[in-house]
Structure 1
Amino acid sequence: MPKNDVELSKKVKKKKRKNRRLISKFLTLFIFIASGLLIYQIVRLNLLPMNLIIVVSLLLVILALLVTLIMNFKAKKFFGRFIMGLIALCMCVSLGYGNYFIYKTKDTFDVVTSLADKKATTTSVIVMKDSNIKKAKGLKNKTIGTVLKMDKKATKRTLKALSDENVKYSTEDYSNLDELVDALYDGDIDAICLNEKYRDILHETEEYFTFNTKTKVAYQNTHYEPREVQDNDSNPVNDITKDAFTVLVSGNDSYGTLQSGNTRSDANLLLTVNPKKGTILMTSVPRDYYVDLPCVEDGGCPVGSKDKLTHTGLYGIKSTEKAIEDTLGIKINYNVRINFSSVVNLVDALDGIDLDVKEGEQCDILYANMQPGLSVGKHHVDGETALAFARERHAYADGDNQRVKNQQKVFKAIFKRIVSPKMITNYGKFMDALAVAFETNLSGDEISDFVKYELQSMPDWKFESYSISGDGGNEFCYIAQTYTSVTYQNEAMNKIARLKINAVLKGKSSKSVKDDSVDTVVQQEPAVEEQPTQDYSTNYYEPYVPENTYTYDDSSYYDQSDYYAPEQGYDDTNY
């Protein structure tokens, strides 16, 4: 071989070796930087036990050393270098995804463990759909109806804001929502001033079910004020990894963000968790349960006022929490608030959930979104269908009682999907949905400690459930200032629920409590060792017996095809 060819061949080989070294150096550098960053993020996340952090860190360092040493010094032949290059490349991808995984977890964790800085109250001036009033200026010299008895502060603030825009008007005050809306419908007044949190109450009666489609907003005022921690303080246990506790999961009837103000507590599920025994008891309380409003002097309602449980959410989740505590004679430690968008987004982020519909749970149509129902058998459903199934009551003879059972079924299906392998590919999307899915008064440290406990102990969680039900009727509700459908309290089932919750807190199964709701013999309640200072053994009410009985047909189905309009930004199909 000529000398020039030999030198050229050497140069080519030398260049190839140099390129290989550059690739190897790049992969080596990336592996060690990504490994170090991952270890840092794991420590910063503070969700893994320290012994597990040490093990993971050592494994990462050892694996990085082995791969880079073999790739740079041991793999001489083409096949060996190729295989090690692939291994190194796969490790780079894995480390990159791992860093993304931890980053999304930390970002979501910071969001969901912090309370919103502000709370908003939105009040609207509403006119009929066919009115020529389109904006604030159109309200000049018009008559605006109010119900100062219900919402004096927000109403006056909104009317003042309207006056500040040089709009002169007159007002006519009414005693309740029914009279207010009737006056608008009859043309006695030109507009009404309505706090948006009361909008949904109108749709609980047949007369005003189409209120949203018959009216429009001419003017709107949103007032923001700081959200104090005491607005939703918790009643913490000493050690969330050892002491049993109860969490209220309250689903409100709104779409969008949770910071837009208080709305109805549409679904109320108590989770009693015993970490030592690995037991979770789900107790559902009917949304229309007729309860005493947890009022205080100057607290928004007269002491002794009654309403249904769902309306207590209009005063905030703490009001709902207190109403349930007083009704069942229990203590709730924490709460979690979610909305309709939360359910839809979380289920869709998981690529749907699996529902096994049993006999008696099937329905021909889901009236909540006017879509085809679910037959007996297994179904893989998206977020909208899962939400509609969880909200459905009109398709069942047992109405609200069956709905709470459906809600428990959806909750368990979401939990199973989260712990399935599918979660790996959907993690980023799920974290994005979770970040705006709920608010809680669980502290960051408590959530961190509980996650550490779960990862270290891996308890085999056993789900148990109980649903309270009651007879329907028609009673005066303070917040609505009118008569509406309610579910009368079932004192026997209240007692059973309390017994079951205390049994799980004690470390027993809720199944150890005899479920005989018609039995008048009261069982002795197990004491709660974790909370010896609290005694709820006698703190329960006598059954409420209405003085007057009203005939109310809640089985009717209303045609909402003209009403269902998601683009409006709210949905009140849960009348």
Structure 2
Amino acid sequence: MAGFFTRSKNDMKYLFANKDELSKKERRRKRRGWATVIGLVLVLVQLVLTVLMLKNVFVLDILPTKYMVALTAFLVCVLLYDFTSQFTNSKFMGKILAVLLSLVMLYCYIFSAKVVSTLTKITGVSTRTDVMDVIVLSDDEAESIADTAKYTYAYSDITDSDIYESAVNQLEKENGIHPSLKTYDNWDTTIDELLDNSEVQAVLVSEEMLASLEEADDTLSTNVKVVGTVEVVTSITVAEAEKVSASEPFVIFVTGNDDYGTVKYNGHSDVNILAVVNPETRQILLVSTPRDSYITIETDSGKSGLDKLTHAGNAGVDNTIKALENLYGIDINYYVRLNFSGCIGVVDALGGITVNSEVAFTNGDNAWYENFTFNEGENELNGEQTLAFVRERLAFGDGDFQRARNQIAAIKGIINKATSATILSNYATVLDAVSDMILTDMPTSFITQLVKEQLSDTTAWNIQSYSLSGTTGPANGQVYGLSGMSVVFLDDDSVNTAIQLMSKIMNGETFDVDEYVESLSTTAE
């Protein structure tokens, strides 16, 4: 080897020599010298790209230590070979390897940088977006906001008064109108005034609240129409979630609503599932709370009272979390929020999921525009089929309760597919495909640690579930002022059972949930 180094050093003397002044042998040495220089440049490029790629991999901390050591050792060995080969007769092979490895390292560097960007995107929450509708009577001549310039507007300042004031200012600025304003302390009176149409001709109402009003009064959607919208984006400060280790028990709140497009921090919480995870025992308990549960909720302004659980999300995910923590007396570590687009996107990015249905049914148009038939037992579903599966409720005698159980079945299918080795090795592509449809406060380090832990231990998870029960009846909302709502009065025993189940999972006990719940029923009798 020393001889090769000496020869290469001597070849360098001829690099910039005039070709015409060199002998045939010296010209050959000049070509050999340039070949060595080119090879060393290629190796240098390989070195830089390798360092950049390994830096991103170290930052992500996604590979188990044994794989990280093996990868680093392999790349170092190849780099050393490519370098030393430039001083031997194998320099051509070294160049080929250097080019190939550089291309691979470049791809891996760009890919890993994109992973970091994607994780930052889905874990960063800094704004709250409220879409405000301007509604008038359905037979009103107005077809746009500009047509309502001389109307008297109204809204309820029972909550989010600052948001509505900003919406009015934006309404005036964007449309050049300055309408008269009236405010009321509840939404029932506000809508009644619009329907009376003597003093109020237009109402400014958030999309979420309008949906709640239409839910409480199924004739409202035919009596009013939307003539325009304004969007209010507010900077928010979300308390940073307390970091926990992915190797210790933790609780994740999975929530979703019926929006499309980019997921928002605020909005109805139509899916409310707590995933209680114990990595040591490989146990996951999914606890579903009905969206219409009549429990204590509060807003950012501190207004609290009994209302629908789904309404808590109108002021942001953190308020839904507070309501559930208060109900169960537990700490929720992180949340994952998605919407209709997110549901379809996640399942399709995973390549479809297997869902075990308790009952056979066909979804109606209320769940999805296309009707799918689901068999009792296992069903292979794509994104749209999964959305129809988790949305349908009219096909069941117990409506929302069966829908909640179907939502849990879909979550099980997603977890089973997402924890497979094939998906884990390509998880960044999956995340990138749904980056606009998912929102979470899980730190990047926690997400990568989850993947790392799963790659290190591929033992199957035991996923069990429990859905709360209750009775349906009418009630008035104390927070948003809606009267005659159809709500679910949770059964106290059901709530206490959920608390016990979550505690047992967190404490590392392994047991069959159905058998334990049945034993409680037997004891009660």
Band of TM-score, shorter chain: 0.7 to 0.9
State the distance in 2 between where 1:100 and 1:395 align: 48
The corresponding residue for 2:495 is 494
State the distance in 2 between where 1:71 and 1:343 align: 53
Cα deviation, residue 465, structure 1: 1.7
The corresponding residue for 1:36 is 51
Task: Output the amino acid matched with 2:509.
Answer: K
CA 1:457–1:113 in 2, change beyond 3 Å: closer, same or farther? Answer: same
- The runs of 5 or more residues in structure 2 that have no matched partner are 1-24
Which residue of 202, 205, 209 corresponds with 1:198?
209
The corresponding residue for 2:371 is 372
The corresponding residue for 1:530 is none
- The runs of 5 or more residues in structure 1 that have no matched partner are 1-9, 524-575
Which residue of 253, 262, 272 corresponds with 2:258?
253
CA 1:432–1:131 in 2, change beyond 3 Å: closer, same or farther? Answer: farther
State the distance in 2 between where 1:158 and 1:241 align: 42
1:328 aligns with 2:328: yes
Cα deviation, residue 426, structure 1: 6.6
The corresponding residue for 1:402 is 402
The corresponding residue for 2:268 is 264
Cα deviation, residue 284, structure 1: 1.2
Mapping 1:299-338, distance limit 5 Å: 299-301=302-304, 305-338=305-338
The corresponding residue for 1:121 is 130
Of stretches 141-150 and 441-450 in structure 1, the one that deviates more from structure 2 is 441-450
Task: Output the amino acid matched with 2:517.
Answer: D
Give 3-state SS (helix, strand or coil) of 1:439's partner: strand
CA 1:166–1:254 in 2, change beyond 3 Å: closer, same or farther? Answer: closer
Question: Are the aligned partners of 1:492 and 1:518 in contact in 2 as well (CA < 8 Å)?
Answer: no
Question: Are the aligned partners of 1:357 and 1:374 in contact in 2 as well (CA < 8 Å)?
Answer: no
Which residue of 157, 167, 172 corresponds with 1:148?
157
State the distance in 1 between where 2:391 and 2:227 align: 27
Question: Are the aligned partners of 1:342 and 1:433 in contact in 2 as well (CA < 8 Å)?
Answer: no
Cα deviation, residue 249, structure 1: 1.5
1:378-429 Cα shifts (integer Å, max 9, x gaps): 5443323222212221222221122122222222322333344664897664
Task: Output the amino acid matched with 1:499.
Answer: Q
Question: Are the aligned partners of 1:151 and 1:195 in contact in 2 as well (CA < 8 Å)?
Answer: no
How many residue pairs get matched?
A: 497
Give 3-state SS (helix, strand or coil) of 1:370's partner: coil
Give 3-state SS (helix, strand or coil) of 2:490's partner: coil
State the distance in 1 between where 2:457 and 2:422 align: 23
Question: Are the aligned partners of 2:163 and 2:232 in contact in 1 as well (CA < 8 Å)?
Answer: no
State the distance in 2 between where 1:71 and 1:171 align: 81
Mapping 1:78-157, distance limit 5 Å: 91=101, 94-114=104-124, 116-128=125-137, 131-157=140-166
Cα deviation, residue 515, structure 1: 0.3
1:515 aligns with 2:481: no
The corresponding residue for 2:7 is none
Provide runs of 4+ in structure 1 moved above 6 Å.
16-27, 67-72, 84-90
State the distance in 2 between where 1:447 and 1:475 align: 41
CA 1:18–1:200 in 2, change beyond 3 Å: closer, same or farther? Answer: farther
Question: Are the aligned partners of 1:284 and 1:466 in contact in 2 as well (CA < 8 Å)?
Answer: yes
Cα deviation, residue 504, structure 1: 0.8
Give 3-state SS (helix, strand or coil) of 2:505's partner: helix
The corresponding residue for 2:236 is 227
Sequence identity, in percent?
27
Instruction: Name the TM-score, length of structure 2 as normaliser.
Output: 0.80
Cα deviation, residue 33, structure 1: 4.3
Question: Are the aligned partners of 2:246 and 2:450 in contact in 1 as well (CA < 8 Å)?
Answer: yes
State the distance in 2 between where 1:422 and 1:242 align: 21
State the distance in 1 between where 2:212 and 2:294 align: 15
Instruction: Name the TM-score, length of structure 1 as normaliser.
Output: 0.73
State the distance in 1 between where 2:248 and 2:524 align: 27
Cα deviation, residue 54, structure 1: 3.3
Mapping 1:306-455, distance limit 5 Å: 306-350=306-350, 352-358=351-357, 360-365=359-364, 367-376=366-375, 378-420=378-420, 423=423, 429-455=429-455
Question: Are the aligned partners of 2:355 and 2:381 in contact in 1 as well (CA < 8 Å)?
Answer: no
CA 1:219–1:254 in 2, change beyond 3 Å: closer, same or farther? Answer: closer
CA 1:49–1:424 in 2, change beyond 3 Å: closer, same or farther? Answer: closer
